């Protein structure tokens, strides 16, 4: 918990710095990520017809949209690798492949809990993994 607080503080401080440097007005109040995410596509979740993008937003967005806790954790990791902060968003990554995304979702990874087939069906995960992996296996 202490580590997470420190990470959130660092990311917040960094974000404030970015806005300060641009001399822009303070950002509008952000909506919580679970309210920003796309609605769950209608239809059979076992054979979804939703797009990978909207499924990712709905199923993963509460943590992986801007300011989500997954984004915060990954932003710190990417900064440590010398990358710009926007690489903390999974949708900006070019190094992910579908197999890796599926493995992380089903097994979890450090701060990320594993998600079961009720939370994300195999059909939904296929499309999400294809979307994040940009077609890479």
Residues 39-58 that bind ligand HEC (CB under 6 A): none
Kindly state whether residue 98 participates in binding ligand HEC, applying the rule CB under 6 A: no
x/- mask, ligand HEC, residues 3-42, rule CB under 6 A, reads ----------------------------------------
Kindly state whether residue 114 participates in binding ligand HEC, applying the rule CB under 6 A: no
Q: Please state, in angstroms and rounded to a whole number, the distance separating the CA atoms of residues 39 and 54.
A: 8
Q: Please state, in angstroms and rounded to a whole number, the distance separating the CA atoms of residues 45 and 49.
A: 8
Q: Is 88 helix (H, G, I), strand (E, B) or coil?
A: helix
Residues 110, 74 contacting (CB under 8 angstroms): no
Neighbours of 37 (CB within 10 A): 21
Among 75, 105, 121, 133, binds ligand HEC (CB under 6 A): 105
Among 79, 83, 115, 123, binds ligand HEC (CB under 6 A): 115
Kindly state whether residue 73 participates in binding ligand HEC, applying the rule CB under 6 A: yes
Q: Which residues pair with 112 in a beta bridge?
A: 109
Phi, psi of 104 (to 5 degrees): -65, -45
Residues of this chain that interact with ligand HEC (CB under 6 A) are 59-60, 62-64, 69-70, 73-74, 90, 96, 101, 104-105, 109-113, 115, 120, 128, 132
């Amino acid at each position: 918990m202490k580590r997470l607080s420190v990470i959130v503080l660092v990311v917040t401080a960094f974000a404030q710095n970015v806005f300060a440097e641009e001399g822009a007005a303070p950002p509008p109040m952000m909506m919580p990520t679970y309210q920003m995410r796309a609605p769950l596509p209608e239809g059979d979740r076992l054979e979804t017809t939703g797009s990978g993008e909207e499924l990712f937003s709905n199923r993963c967005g509460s943590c992986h949209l801007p300011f989500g806790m997954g984004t915060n954790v990954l932003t710190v990791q990417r900064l440590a690798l010398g990358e710009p902060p926007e690489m903390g968003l999974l949708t900006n990554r070019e190094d992910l492949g579908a197999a890796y995304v599926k493995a992380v979702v089903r097994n979890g990874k450090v701060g990320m809990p594993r998600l079961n087939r009720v939370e994300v069906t195999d059909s939904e995960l296929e499309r999400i993994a294809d979307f994040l992996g940009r077609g890479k296996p």
